[in-house]
Amino acid sequence: MSDASANSSDASADAGDASTGSRFGYARGLLGDHAVHIAVVAAFALYPFVYAILVRTPLGAELDVFLPRIDTMVAVLYIGLFAVSFDFISGYTGYLSFGHALFYGVGAYFVVLAATGKVPLLGPGTPFMALLLVAGLLVVGIALLVGAVSFRLSGVYFAMITLGFAEVAHVFIRNWDYVSSNPRDGASIGAGEGFSIGVPGVDALQVEIGRIVGTNLGEFGPGIAVDATWVSYYAIGAIVLVSYFALQRIVHSPFGRVMIAIRENEERARAVGYDVYRFKLVAFAISGFFAAIAGALFAGYRRSVAPENTFDLFVTADALLAAIIGGFGTLAGPLYGYLFKGSVEGVLSTEYHGIARYLRRALPESTLTFDVAGISIADVINVLVDGRADLYLGIVFILFVLYVPRGILGTLRDRLGGTVAERLPERMRTRLRGWQR
Amino acid sequence: MMDVLTLAFVDVLIDLLQPGTLARIVLDALSKSALYVMIASGLSLIFGLMGVLNFAHGSLTMIGAYLGGAVMVVTVSAGMNGPARFALFFVAIAATFAALTLLGGAVEVALIRPIYDREPLFQILLTFGLVLVLDELARIVVELNGLQPRSKWQAAIGTAPDFLSNWYAVVGISTRGLYLFEVLLGALVVAGIWAFLTRTRYGLYIRAGSEDPEMTRALGVDVRKAFTVVFGVGAGLAGVAGAVLMWDPRFGATVPLSVETLLVAFVVVIIGGLGSFRGTVVAAGIVGLTDALMTWLFQNHVQFAGLPEMVTFLVLVGVLIVRPQGLFGVAEVGGH
């Protein structure tokens, strides 16, 4: 009895909400559902300003060592997208794509070749957005061909055959002299206008990307120069954001659920009646599309490509590392995982903003030459700190595989019992309500 | 167009079928196959028994190369004669095998054992993390000793006795003594492993465990200890291969050796098939022959420097398409 009345009063309350503030209620609901997403996007968007302000404070030099530079953050965006596309196939279907660098490399080289006039039909003047699309479609074709052959295998053998395809392409691009006069060193675009991201043809809605040649919007405040790197950051960030949300939509759709079913128990999925082969192919093609976009963004920003930063096994390895640290099968995890990797590499870099150079500048001579058993502090810095990011990343990687196998985001999701976007606002609300009592 | 291609093809074929050319290619193939079988055999044993694709295999080979080089550089003095250096080389091999077996066993107990119960993915990932750590540690040690990590260790190559580094004319082909020695060593390693697999108790455990791990465990074999032993021996074999590569001027002890040998080992083991040592030997022969043939083709007819590598990977892809479990493979591992 009381249940029925409670239900009816709930129903009337809902109906009441619907009739009085329906539009606001809907908007508030939408905001509530996406509060976490909005917060993350805002954090990324505000970061350049926060960074610019913080390095001008008295602790600026110290903070500069630990905070990633904007240039690093741009790399985090496009390689993060690559890692996300890798997780889309490997984390959600369980098929490890060890040849994923193939797609990234094709996207990158396509842009460079088109810009240097070596692609038939698409001359140097082609809008960058068109190049992105064509590169993506080209890679979809490649992915379908590779997948058609590879998805008859599974597990280690699938990983090996995709690796085989990627290495064939790697060796090929390293020796193909159509690419440039010295293919081993790669190809570059050189001076000229930066690539434009935005609405093609509408000048007002476009910005040029590129570390040096991009659009420079001048000073924004006391000493905050919105230079080419900043503009590239926002432009590339916009594309990465759209791509991420596209992938997220797919993952949360029935198609995504079939992908997860394939990962959990492929035979059962097949028995229930899904054409798993076709689903795998399409998922592979989608992941390849976005990997190509990531590669194209990389080429558009850096304006030069080389075999070892595009087709190499270690490019896929970067995505693997990012996925493990961030969390396999979480989609957003690899982005944060690569943010971690980029930050560590920045801290331990051999450049002026690395901790090694900072320590050499900041520590007094007496501390640097202080030695124990013939090994001075300076020696320790030179050998164990300067440029040794890979060592510590490897150790972190191993520790994560052993103790945090679900990665940062994965463990967080386990704790919260669902995705962060769904659960965190609720959790915070219940915590707050607890305090109010 | 077609007749130009046919003409070129016939041209190549005529050149190929000269006895001199064939002999050169066969000799090259033999020495490369011997190296590849030494590189891949450790990985084959580990993959066969444990189903773990040990990504760190290349790094262990590289460490073996530097260790072997270190032993030779330290013990060989400038005036030493050939036979003494040759004898010291076997000491170096033994020392490298022992050191790497211990390292492999330690790694297995400390890092791989805890994750047996997880999906195979994590075992692969863990050995991958090991690559980063081992390669970087090797780079640190190498740089501390004043060497360039990316260039061949010339001092180590220089410790080879003259009768091995000299060129000889065999069947009209000029070849280094070292390459003939490699063929001999390769045969010895294959014979040794075959004897180990068929005549010792652990060899029996490995063969049984590769075919049917559950039954083997049910019959009372301590599979865990067998895993540790196999991982150690596999690492030791990788080290031995590295020590041999250290002397070979075509490779030399460098840090990038780890990736080069890793890819070769993968190709050979996958083509040969899971759990079959015979498969590994045959696959090493095939890959060696392909490499030799394509190298000859590149040097004489086709202007494409990456031809041998590319064709090797194409063979890998081809074998996986036609026969997914490899040439002699028994069962599929790591599927869903």
- Residue range A62-103, pLDDT digits in tens: 888 888 888 899 999 999 999 999 999 999 999 999 999 999
Nearest to B310 among A96, A155, A172 (CB): A172
**Measuring CA to CA, how many Å separate B61 from each of B38, B272, B320?**
10, 20, 26
How far apart CA B304 and CA B281 sit, in angstroms, is 28
Nearest to B115 among A165, A265, A402 (CB): A402
CB contact B22 to A (< 8 Å): no
Under the banding of pLDDT at 50, 70 and 90, the label for residue A4 is very low
Average per-residue pLDDT in chain A? 85
- Contact check, Cβ <8 Å, B332/A384: no
- Contact check, Cβ <8 Å, B131/A154: no
- Taking the CA of residue A250 and the nearest CA in chain B, the distance in Å comes to 23
Following DSSP, what letter does each residue of B154-178 receive, concatenated? HHHHHTS-HHHHSEEEETTEEEEHH
Under the banding of pLDDT at 50, 70 and 90, the label for residue A222 is low
3-state secondary structure of A257: helix
Residue-level pLDDT at B60: 96
Q: Which of residues 144-163 of B touch A (CB under 8 A)?
A: 144
Q: Which of residues 207-266 of B touch A (CB under 8 A)?
A: 259, 263, 266
CB contact B120 to A (< 8 Å): yes
- Taking the CA of residue A421 and the nearest CA in chain B, the distance in Å comes to 27
Q: Decide which of B119 and B112 is more confident.
A: B112
Assess if residue A59 is contained within a domain: no
Q: Decide which of B42 and B336 is more confident.
A: B42
Residue-level pLDDT at A221: 65
**∠ CA(A394), CA(A397), CA(A399), 5° rounding?**
110
Residue-level pLDDT at B29: 92
- Contact check, Cβ <8 Å, B313/A167: yes
**CATH number, domain containing residue A220:** 1.10.3470
Residue-level pLDDT at A16: 40
Closest CA to B51 of B102, B120, B106: B120
Could you report the per-residue pLDDT of B241-273, keeping only the tens digit for each? 999 999 888 888 888 899 889 999 999 999 998
Question: pLDDT exceeding 90 applies to what percent of chain B?
Answer: 38
Is the pLDDT at B114 greater than 90? The verdict is no
- Contact check, Cβ <8 Å, B133/A160: no
- What is the number of structural domains in chain A? 1
- Taking the CA of residue B172 and the nearest CA in chain A, the distance in Å comes to 33
**Which of A39-53, A409-423, B158-172 is most confident?**
A39-53
Residue-level pLDDT at B80: 78
Residue-level pLDDT at B331: 58
Q: How many CB atoms lie within 10 A of CB B82?
A: 14
Tokens read off for A422: 């769904």
Specify which residues A198 forms β-bridges with: A206
Residue-level pLDDT at A322: 93
Residue-level pLDDT at A88: 96
Could you report the per-residue pLDDT of A283-309, keeping only the tens digit for each? 999 999 999 999 999 999 998 899 999
Instruction: Dump strand ranges (E) for A288-357.
Output: 304-305
Is the pLDDT at A218 greater than 50? The verdict is yes
* Set of chain B residues whose Cβ sits within 8 Å of the Cβ of A394: 129-133, 136
How far apart CA B138 and CA B203 sit, in angstroms, is 32
Residue-level pLDDT at A223: 62
Task: Tally A–B CB contacts below 8 A.
Answer: 121
Assess if residue A2 is contained within a domain: no
- Taking the CA of residue B88 and the nearest CA in chain A, the distance in Å comes to 32
- Taking the CA of residue B320 and the nearest CA in chain A, the distance in Å comes to 7
Is the pLDDT at A151 greater than 70? The verdict is yes
pTM over cut 0.95: no
Assess if residue A342 is contained within a domain: no
Residue B168: phi and psi, rounded to 5, are -125, 160
Under the banding of pLDDT at 50, 70 and 90, the label for residue B37 is very high
How far apart CA A71 and CA A51 sit, in angstroms, is 12
- Taking the CA of residue B309 and the nearest CA in chain A, the distance in Å comes to 7
**Which of A49-53, A291-295, B18-22, B84-88 is most confident?**
A291-295
- Contact check, Cβ <8 Å, B136/A391: yes
Pick the residue from chain A with its C-alpha nearest to B138: A391
Residue-level pLDDT at B23: 85
Question: Which of the residue ranges A420-424, B69-73, B200-204 would you say has the lowest mean pLDDT?
Answer: A420-424
Closest CA to B154 of B87, B252, B67: B252
How far apart CA A399 and CA B241 sit, in angstroms, is 30
Question: Which of the residue ranges A141-145, A428-432, B143-147 would you say has the lowest mean pLDDT?
Answer: A428-432
Question: Which of the residue ranges A270-279, A382-391, B186-195 would you say has the lowest mean pLDDT?
Answer: A382-391
Torsion-angle region of residue A329: left (phi > 0), alpha (psi -120 to 50) or beta?
left
Using an 8 Å Cβ cutoff, are B40 and B262 in contact? Answer: no
Q: Decide which of B314 and A377 is more confident.
A: B314
Is the pLDDT at A179 greater than 90? The verdict is no
Assess if residue A259 is contained within a domain: yes
Q: How many CB atoms lie within 10 A of CB A421?
A: 18
Region B298-309: mean pLDDT is 84
**Which domain, by its residues, includes A245?**
69-329
- Contact check, Cβ <8 Å, B128/A320: yes
Residue A355: phi and psi, rounded to 5, are -70, -25
